[in-house]
Chain A
Amino acid sequence: MRFILFHNKLIPQKTNTNGSKRISQMDLIPQPQPNPNYPFNPKLQLLLSGKQLLFDDIPFPLEEIQEHYENGYVTYRKGIKYTAGKKPYCVRCGNKKPYWFAVYPCARCQEACIYCRRCLMMGRISECTPLIGWNGPMPDAPLPSKILAWQGSLSQGQLEASKRVVEAILQNKEWLIWAVCGAGKTEVLFAGIEAALATKKRICIATPRTDVVLELTPRLKSAFPDIPIASLYGGSEDRHVFAPLTIATTHQLLRFYQAFDAMILDEVDAFPYTVEEALQHAAVQARKLTSSMIYLTATPNEKWQRECRTGKRAFTTIPARYHRHPLSVPEFVWCGNWKKSLRKGKLPENVLCWIKTRLQNNKQSLLFFPHISLMEEALPLVKKLAPATEAVHAEDPCRKDKVQRMRKKEILFLLTTTILERGVTFPNIDVAVIGAEDLIFTESALVQIAGRAGRSKEYPKGVVTFFHYGKTNEMIKAKRQIVSMNREGIARGLIDV
Chain B
Amino acid sequence: MSFFFLDYCYICQERILPDISWKALFSPEKESFICTDCRGKFERIEGETCRICSRPFQQIDNPFRDEDVCYDCFRWEEDPEWQGVLEKNTSMFVYNEFLREVIAKFKYRGDYMLVKVFSESFRKKVQGLVVDVFVPIPLSEERLYERGFNQTEAILIEAGLQPSNILTRIHTEKQSKKSRTERIHLPQVFQLLPNPQIEGKKILLVDDIYTTGSTLRHAAKLLKQAGAATIQSITIGR
Residues of A within 8 A of B (CB): 14, 56, 99, 102-108, 113, 115, 117, 120-121, 124, 126
Q: Per-residue CB proximity of B91-128 to A under 8 Å, as 1/0?
A: 00000000000000100011111000000000000000
Residues of B within 8 A of A (CB): 8, 105, 109-113, 144-150, 154, 157
Chain A nearest CB, measured from B62 CB (Å): 32
Across the interface, name the chain B residue whose C-beta is closest to A1.
B145
Contact of B145 among A102, A107, A124 (CB under 8 A): A107
30 contacts between A and B (CB under 8 A): A99-B8, A102-B111, A102-B113, A104-B112, A104-B113, A104-B149, A104-B154, A105-B149, A105-B157, A106-B148, A107-B144, A107-B145, A107-B147, A107-B148, A107-B150, A108-B145, A113-B148, A115-B110, A115-B112, A117-B111, A117-B113, A120-B105, A120-B110, A120-B111, A121-B109, A124-B109, A124-B110, A124-B111, A124-B148, A126-B148
* Distance of A103 Cα from B112 Cα, bound (Å): 8
Query: A14: which B residues are within 8 A, CB to CB?
Result: 145
Number of residue pairs A-B, CB distance < 8 angstroms = 41
Q: Is the CB of A120 within 8 A of B149?
A: no
Query: A117: which B residues are within 8 A, CB to CB?
Result: 111, 113
Chain A nearest CB, measured from B6 CB (Å): 9
Query: B157: which A residues are within 8 A, CB to CB?
Result: 105
* Distance of A107 Cα from B110 Cα, bound (Å): 12
Query: A105: which B residues are within 8 A, CB to CB?
Result: 149, 154, 157
* Distance of A56 Cα from B108 Cα, bound (Å): 12
* Distance of A467 Cα from B150 Cα, bound (Å): 57
Query: A104: which B residues are within 8 A, CB to CB?
Result: 110, 112-113, 148-149, 154
* Distance of A108 Cα from B147 Cα, bound (Å): 9
Across the interface, name the chain B residue whose C-beta is closest to A109.
B148
Main secondary structure of the interface of B (DSSP, over half): helix
Chain A nearest CB, measured from B149 CB (Å): 6
11 other A-B residue contacts (CB within 8 Å) besides A99-B8, A113-B148, A120-B109? A103-B112, A104-B113, A104-B149, A105-B154, A107-B150, A108-B148, A117-B111, A121-B109, A124-B110, A124-B111, A126-B148
Chain A nearest CB, measured from B117 CB (Å): 12
* Distance of A102 Cα from B149 Cα, bound (Å): 14
Query: B111: which A residues are within 8 A, CB to CB?
Result: 102, 117, 120, 124
* Distance of A480 Cα from B145 Cα, bound (Å): 59
* Distance of A113 Cα from B147 Cα, bound (Å): 13
Chain B nearest CB, measured from A49 CB (Å): 26
Given A108-B145, A108-B148, also A102-B112 (CB < 8 A) = yes
Chain A nearest CB, measured from B148 CB (Å): 5
Across the interface, name the chain B residue whose C-beta is closest to A126.
B148
Across the interface, name the chain A residue whose C-beta is closest to B157.
A105
* Distance of A103 Cα from B157 Cα, bound (Å): 14
* Distance of A343 Cα from B114 Cα, bound (Å): 40
Q: Is the CB of B149 within 8 A of A106?
A: yes
Query: B149: which A residues are within 8 A, CB to CB?
Result: 104-107
Query: A120: which B residues are within 8 A, CB to CB?
Result: 105, 109-111
* Distance of A99 Cα from B112 Cα, bound (Å): 14
* Distance of A103 Cα from B115 Cα, bound (Å): 12
Query: A121: which B residues are within 8 A, CB to CB?
Result: 109
Query: A126: which B residues are within 8 A, CB to CB?
Result: 148
Query: A107: which B residues are within 8 A, CB to CB?
Result: 144-145, 147-150
Across the interface, name the chain B residue whose C-beta is closest to A101.
B113
Chain A nearest CB, measured from B44 CB (Å): 24
* Distance of A298 Cα from B113 Cα, bound (Å): 40
Across the interface, name the chain B residue whose C-beta is closest to A104.
B112
- Which of A99, A107, A120 has the most CB atoms of chain B within a 10 A radius of its CB? A107
Chain A nearest CB, measured from B152 CB (Å): 13
* Distance of A14 Cα from B145 Cα, bound (Å): 9
- In order of increasing CB-CB distance, the 9 nearest A-B pairs are A104-B112, A102-B113, A124-B110, A107-B144, A106-B148, A107-B148, A120-B109, A120-B111, A104-B149
* Distance of A99 Cα from B15 Cα, bound (Å): 11
* Distance of A108 Cα from B143 Cα, bound (Å): 11
Query: A124: which B residues are within 8 A, CB to CB?
Result: 109-111, 148
Query: B147: which A residues are within 8 A, CB to CB?
Result: 107
* Distance of A115 Cα from B111 Cα, bound (Å): 9
Across the interface, name the chain A residue whose C-beta is closest to B147.
A107
Query: B145: which A residues are within 8 A, CB to CB?
Result: 14, 107-108
Query: A106: which B residues are within 8 A, CB to CB?
Result: 148-149
* Distance of A45 Cα from B220 Cα, bound (Å): 49
Query: B154: which A residues are within 8 A, CB to CB?
Result: 104-105
* Distance of A103 Cα from B221 Cα, bound (Å): 35
* Distance of A351 Cα from B13 Cα, bound (Å): 38
* Distance of A115 Cα from B105 Cα, bound (Å): 14
Across the interface, name the chain B residue whose C-beta is closest to A102.
B113
Query: B146: which A residues are within 8 A, CB to CB?
Result: 56
Chain B nearest CB, measured from A20 CB (Å): 15
* Distance of A297 Cα from B37 Cα, bound (Å): 35
Across the interface, name the chain B residue whose C-beta is closest to A124.
B110
Query: A99: which B residues are within 8 A, CB to CB?
Result: 8
Chain A nearest CB, measured from B158 CB (Å): 10
* Distance of A396 Cα from B232 Cα, bound (Å): 43
